Amino acid sequence: MMTRLHRLTRFAAMKRTARTGWLPILLTLPIFLVCLPSQPVAAITPSRVIAPYPAGFGTPPMNYSKDAWRVWFRGREVVDAVPSSFVDLGDGYGKDVWRAFFEGRPVIDAAAQSFTVLCDGYARDAWRIYWCGRPVADAAPSSFETLGWGYARDAWRVFWNGQPLSEVAPSSFEVLGDGYAHDAWRVFWSGQPLSEVAPSSFEVLGDGYARDAWRAFWNGRPLSDAAPLSFEVLGRGYARDARRVWFRGRELPGASPSDFLPQY
């Protein structure tokens, strides 16, 4: 755009130079001076910026970037990182040959050579499990697995967001979706046990809704007076039973469930 404007202005000036001399050209100089950058970006060398993620591995995480001398996490310099060996691992993690990092900060005592990212903020090396860059106490790397929705387990314990859940049976523990999970005796939502819920009849319906044989729930909270047998999810946060309509767990007074349909 700048080049085209320059050519047009120069052409017009040349046509008038014979009659008016250099005055028109001099008058156009302030236009270009205003459009020039106020100062160069000296901290980053554009010709040496390196792609933060290897090609062929799906969508780049776009958390870390680097040039020949420095590494950044979302615009903040990562102190002591080695650019030549640095790799963006995803989920906020990265590593070079010496250290592992989470969101640009060192993961204390992590072994970089064996450090790998799992999912949901979890990572591991040969000796420890980490969640969001912090060690997960008493987790066994050899049997550790992530289950989704922040849940994970090893041979002896179940975890949610890096915290152990008490009195949970890992062998029967199952993640149902929407933050819900259960073992043989209890149902959980976001790591919290739900009281008076029957695991044998519990099912997740979607949009945060669930039910057992006696009650319906939204995000782990019982819906007052909801009839589980006729309860159904309509989508976009709406649900209904034979008598009521709810939106994100809140009853809509006066709504007619028999003909209620959300508009898509």
Give bridge partners of residue 182 from the DSSP assignment. 174, 187
User: Can you give the residue ranges of every domain in the chain?
Assistant: 2-35, 49-117, 196-264
The pTM of this model reads 0.75
Lowest mean pLDDT: which of 55-59, 98-102, 182-186, 258-262? 55-59
pLDDT for 62 equals: 59
Residues 18-63 pLDDT 10s: 444 443 433 343 333 333 333 333 344 333 333 343 333 334 445 8
Q: What percent of the chain has pLDDT over 90?
A: 74
For residue 153, pLDDT beyond 60: yes
What is the dihedral angle through the alpha carbons of 26, 31, 34, 36, rounded to the nearest 10 degrees?
-90
Residue whose C-alpha is closest to residue 171's, from 190, 155, 151: 155
Tokens representing 110 are 């992590």
**Average pLDDT in the chain:** 83
